[in-house]
Structure 1
C-alpha cells in the first residue's frame, strides 16, 4: 500500500533527548542509541523519511563543532537542541529531576525548590520551542513528550495559534494536594494547556490533571475535554506500550536462544529477575527486604532460586541516589552473606546495562519477573517480559503502583510497601503451576500484542489530527485513511551501544 503522506504533513516529535546520543572519542564524533524507555519506544514509531525529531543530543557540544553534529544528524531527520553544562545541570538535573520527578512520584521531601532551576527550565523550554518554530508549518502535527518540556505547548501556541500541538505525559501526574506544593504550578498548568490534546498513562492521571486545570488554570470541564478561553483541549488516557513483534522476534532469534540455553546450564535453580534504573521510585530496597524475608520464611527455597538483580546506573553522584546505592549494596551483601553457600549465591547483582539479546534471554528464561516500583507512570519492563516469555514458563509479580497494573490484571499484584505480603507473593509466583502460568501469560500477551506501541501512537494521533482547524473554526481535519502506514517500523537507529529496557 502506497504511503500518501508527504513532507507537508509531518509529525514533529519533540523530546528532551534524541533517540541517539553523540560521543566524542579522540576528537571523533559518533552516534549511539540513547538510554531510556522513551527513546527506545518511540524509535519504533517514527518514520525515518517523513517525520523529524527535535531533542538534546546527549552531550555538551563545543560551539565550533555544532555544525558538524547537525550535519551528522540531518540524514536521519534529527535536529539537535544544544545545551550548555549549566543548562544541563539546572534544567535537567535540577528542575526536571530534583523538583518535578520526586514531586510527581510523591517523594515530596526530595524536591528542592531552587528559583535558579526554574529560570533554567523556562530558558531551555524556550530553546526547544524556538527550534520547533524553525521547522514547523501550519500543516505539521507537533507532538511534545514528557515532563521536561511542559512549557513548550504554550510557547508554541503564543508564537502561532494555528499550530496543531499534542503533549504526552509519560510519568504520573500527582493529586492536587501534592501538585499545589509546586511554586510554579500556574505556569506549568498554563504551559500544558497550550496543547490541543494532552495524553496521560492512566485515568487517575487524567483526573488529577483536570482538577488542577480547573482549580489553578481556570479551565472549564466537559466530558472528555477542557475549555480554555473558548478553545477546546482534549484530555485523555493513552497507555503507552511496546513494539510487541520486535520483542517476540528478538526472543526467537538464534543468538537469544543460545544465550538462554547457556544461562540455564550455568544456573541450575529457578530464576527470578528484576530490571530497574537506580531510582528511589523503583522500590529497590523494598524488593530486597521482601526477598530476604522470603528466604527467612520459606527455608525450602534456599539453594533453589537465584535472584538476578540488574540495576542500570543513574545519577549516582547525587546525594539521594548515592545513599540508595549504598543501602542496596549493603542489603545484597548481607543477604548473600547470611544465606549463601559455597555452591549457591542467592542474589547475582549487576550494576550496568545489558545488550538486547542478553536481556531478552533473561526475559525468556525467568520463572518469575518482579516489577515492583513504588509508583510509575507505566513501566514497560512488565510488557517487555510478557512479550519475550515465548516459552510461557514464567509469572509476573507487578506493583499496584505501576500504570501497567491497570492493564495486566492477570499478573500477581502486590503493594511493594507491604513486605510480608510481598514475600508471600514471591513464594506464590515461584510455586504457580505451569498451566496457570501459561493461561495468564497468554491472556496478557494478547493484550500487549493488541495494544502495542503503534496502537498507542495511532490513538493519540487520531485524536490530535481530528482537532478542529484553526483556519476554519467549524471544519474538522479529515483523518487520512493511510495513517497506519505512516507509523512505520523502519526507523533505523545505529546498532552500536548498550540497550536499556523500558525503565
Structure 2
C-alpha cells in the first residue's frame, strides 16, 4: 500500500537531551501544528531534523534518537553544527527569509552558505529515497528545502511529488536579485504540484519561471520538456476541533490545573473585568510588525486618552532564531 512521505526542515517533535536521557515533546511550529493531524491520521512518515546536532548526541544515544523518532512514524535527519549554521541560520534565514518577505536590506548572499544549503538539501533528498517505494506520494515543505523536489526527480523520474511554500513568494523584480535564482526555480519545478497560500504568491512564482527560465506558462500550468507542472493556491487551515476542544477544556480547569500563562491572562481579565483585552500572539520576528504594533497602541492612547485603563494590550512573543543578528536587534528594541 502506498504511503505519503512528508519532508520538512524540522520534525513535528522536539527531542531534547536531559541528564543523558532523551525527552520527546511536541513541536510548536506552525507547519508542524498544521500538519500534525494529517500525519497522525494518515499512512505517512515524516522526515526532518530532530533538533539535536550531531555534536550534541553521544554516540551511544544515536540509535535511541532514531528509535524515538520511529515511534512517532518519523525519520530523523542528522545535521552537524556547521550544517545548521550555514543551511538554517545562514542561507535559509539570512537570504531566503528576508528576501521572500521583501526585507532586501537584511538579505545576505554568502556563497559558502549556499554550498551548505545545497549539500543539506541533498541529504534530505537521499533520506527520502531510502524510504521511497513505487506509488508513494512525496510532499516537500517550505523554503528550507527548495532544491529537494528536483533532487528526488533526478533519481525517481516517475515519482509523484508535491511542494508547498509556507511563506510568501516575492515579485519577479525582487526574486531576480537572488544570485542562485535559476537553481532555486529548477529545484522547486521538480514537483508535479506546487502550492502557495495565496494567488499573489502563485502569480509571482509563475512570472519568475516565465521570465527567468523562459518556460511556457499558461494559466496555472508550466510546460516543461518532459511534463506539465501545476501551480495553485491552497490557503492552509487548522484542526478546528482540536482548538475548539482546547478552548472549552480551558474553562473546566481548576486553578491548580491552569498553566502559569493562563493565570497571568486571568489576572488581566479579573483585575479590570470591564476593560477590553487585546491579545496578540506571534513569533519574535521582524516580519510580524511587533514593534510597530506597540507604537500603534501608544499612538491610539495618546490620541484617545479616554481609553486609558479601559483597554489592555497583552503581547506574547515567542523567541526565535536568536543566532541571527536581525532577531537579536529586534528583541532588544522590543525589550526597550
CA distances 1:418-463 after superposition (whole Å, capped 9, x unpaired): xxxxxxxxxxxxxxxxxxxxxxxxxxxxxxxxxxxxxxxxxxxxxx
Say which SS state the counterpart of residue 47 (structure 1) adopts.
helix
Q: In the TM superposition, what is the alpha-carbon distance from 1:266 to its structure 2 partner?
A: 3.2
Alpha carbons of 1:77 and 1:327: their partners in 2 closer, same or farther (altered >3 Å)?
A: same
Q: In the TM superposition, what is the alpha-carbon distance from 1:261 to its structure 2 partner?
A: 6.2
**Contact 1:137 1:163 survives alignment (8 Å):** no
Unpaired runs of 5+ in structure 1? 1-7, 331-503
Alignment partner, residue 176 of structure 2: 180
CA distance in 1: counterparts of 2:332 and 2:42, whole angstroms? 46
TM-score (norm 2): 0.92
Matched, 1:16 2:21: no
Matched, 1:266 2:271: yes
Q: In the TM superposition, what is the alpha-carbon distance from 1:133 to its structure 2 partner?
A: 0.2
CA distance in 2: counterparts of 1:194 and 1:209, whole angstroms? 14
Matched, 1:83 2:76: no
CA distance in 1: counterparts of 2:311 and 2:208, whole angstroms? 47
**Contact 2:87 2:117 survives alignment (8 Å):** yes
Matched, 1:32 2:28: no
Point out which structure has higher relative CO (alpha carbons under 8 A, 6+ apart): 1
Residue 319 (structure 1) aligned to one of 308, 320, 325: 325
CA distance in 2: counterparts of 1:52 and 1:317, whole angstroms? 30
CA distance in 2: counterparts of 1:123 and 1:23, whole angstroms? 25
**Contact 2:2 2:134 survives alignment (8 Å):** no
Residue 308 (structure 1) aligned to one of 298, 314, 320: 314
CA distances 1:11-59 after superposition (whole Å, capped 9, x unpaired): 1000000000110000011111113111111111113562100000011
Unpaired runs of 5+ in structure 2? 255-261
Alignment partner, residue 140 of structure 1: 136
CA distance in 2: counterparts of 1:262 and 1:296, whole angstroms? 25
CA distance in 2: counterparts of 1:244 and 1:49, whole angstroms? 18
CA distance in 1: counterparts of 2:276 and 2:253, whole angstroms? 18
Alignment partner, residue 258 of structure 2: none
Q: In the TM superposition, what is the alpha-carbon distance from 1:265 to its structure 2 partner?
A: 1.7
Q: In the TM superposition, what is the alpha-carbon distance from 1:257 to its structure 2 partner?
A: 6.6
Q: In the TM superposition, what is the alpha-carbon distance from 1:137 to its structure 2 partner?
A: 1.1
CA distance in 1: counterparts of 2:77 and 2:41, whole angstroms? 19
**Contact 2:146 2:184 survives alignment (8 Å):** yes
What is the count of residue pairs matched by the alignment? 323
TM-score (norm 1): 0.62
How do 1:292-307 residues align onto structure 2 when only pairs under 5 Å count?
A: 292-307=298-313
Alpha carbons of 1:317 and 1:13: their partners in 2 closer, same or farther (altered >3 Å)?
A: closer
Return the structure number with greater strand share: 2
Say which SS state the counterpart of residue 53 (structure 2) adopts.
coil
